[in-house]
Amino acid sequence: MPDDWLSPSAVLVLFLGLFILTLAGRVLYSGLLADVTVQTCFSPLKKITFAYRFKEGAYKSSGQLFEEARCAAPTGLSRIGVFYDDPKKIPGPLCRHAVGCILSEGENQVDEELLKRCRASGFNVFSFPEITHVVTTSIPHRAFFSSILRVRRVYPQLEQYIKERKLCAHPFLEIYKDGQIQFIVPLARQVDFYVPEVRQVERRLSEQEESHSDTDISGADSNSECSSESGLLLSDSRDTSPVESSVHSALVRDRGRADDKGGSSRGSSFKDLDWDWTAGRQDGDAKQESLDVPAQELLGVVEGEE
């Protein structure tokens, strides 16, 4: 009998059993099986000032920016990711996002030394306002499984919640704080959550589209439909009215179909979201912090575990 327990097959069975138990414990600890509850409520996020880097590229590469933000700021600062485009409707290389760390929240003042350090590392600085109502949920932030949970469960449920209630909710924010990932989607003042680089991209695409419409008569019908459905281009002013950011989606699709004479494009809307994350205020004014040093080249956001 003792020889049987020492046989290779017995050792293999024991090893597999320990591995399965370890994996099961890891899954339970990660919160992978936890319920995801989406709700509309008062925003858990106060007015914030944050340092960030902006990128156009696939969301699955966002981990690099999160790691850069962690290296540039002291331990303990909350990190933030802001995702502007629907990755199923916009090509991966054109998906816009901003990633960084929160320097101050509420009425707290930004530490000047920290501000200088972030600027010297090539980060820009911006502020988001405090708003009343948002769509929100949260999950535990524990190791690699948190990434699987956010991609496979959180975003599909956020999409379904917004779509069923026909809400105008955008962009999508992720706040990494106190062992949790807080997902926040503003229901008002959305324009105030668009960093300046997003407006620059939309302005450039708008100019390209206008040039194309002036020279390509065959695209007139497509351009007209885009114009009628896309709404207004984000302006430089940060007004208080909810504005849907759909111009970028429509223009990118038009540009991608330039060789298809029979095609027509439709402006996408965050009211009709179909996210595919295959990688994932009423008071006070939001103010963009001016930079004292020249901005360095923007580099190519999930957390460092990916």
pLDDT at 223 over 60: no
pLDDT digits (tens, 9 = 90+) for 284-306: 444 444 334 333 333 333 444 44
> Residue 31 — pLDDT band, cuts 50, 70, 90?
low
> Residue 74 — pLDDT band, cuts 50, 70, 90?
confident
**What is the per-residue pLDDT for 182?**
94
Least confident of 5-19, 108-122, 188-202, 216-230: 216-230
**What is the per-residue pLDDT for 62?**
86
CATH 1.10.443.10 assigned to 36-286: no
Backbone dihedral angles phi then psi of residue 213, each to the nearest 5 degrees? -70, -25
**What is the per-residue pLDDT for 2?**
53
pLDDT at 230 over 80: no
Contact criterion met (CB below 8 Å) for 153 and 83: no
Half-sphere exposure for 239 (CA within 13 Å, toward CB)? 9
pLDDT at 235 over 50: no
Q: What is each CA distance from 157 to 64, 163, 195, 249, 275, in whole angstroms? A: 26, 10, 26, 22, 10
As a whole-number percent, the residues of the chain with pLDDT over 70 amount to 60
- Sequence-separated (6 or more) residues with CB below 8 Å from residue 231: 243, 244, 246, 247, 267
Residue type, 196: P
pLDDT digits (tens, 9 = 90+) for 96-142: 999 999 999 998 899 999 999 899 989 999 999 998 899 999 988 87
What is the 3-class SS of 225-291, one letter each residue? HHHHHHCCCCCCCCCCCCCCCCHHHHHHHHHHCCCCCCCCCCCCCHHHCCCCCCCCCCCCCCCCCCC
Average pLDDT over residues 181-190: 95
181 or 271, greater pLDDT: 181
**What is the per-residue pLDDT for 258?**
42
> Residue 214 — pLDDT band, cuts 50, 70, 90?
low
List the beta bridge partners of residue 125.
51
Average pLDDT over residues 51-60: 93
In Å, how far from its chain's centre is CA 135?
14
Own/partner long-range contacts of 90-94 (Cβ < 8 Å, ≥24 apart):
90/248, 90/249, 90/252, 91/252, 91/256, 92/57, 92/58, 92/59, 92/60, 93/56, 93/57, 93/58, 94/56, 94/248, 94/252
pLDDT at 30 over 90: no
166 or 263, greater pLDDT: 166
Domain spans, the chain: 36-286
**What is the per-residue pLDDT for 70?**
83
| Euclidean distance between CA atoms 118 and 43, whole angstroms | 27
Average pLDDT over residues 72-81: 85
Tally of residues, the chain: 306
pTM over 0.75: no
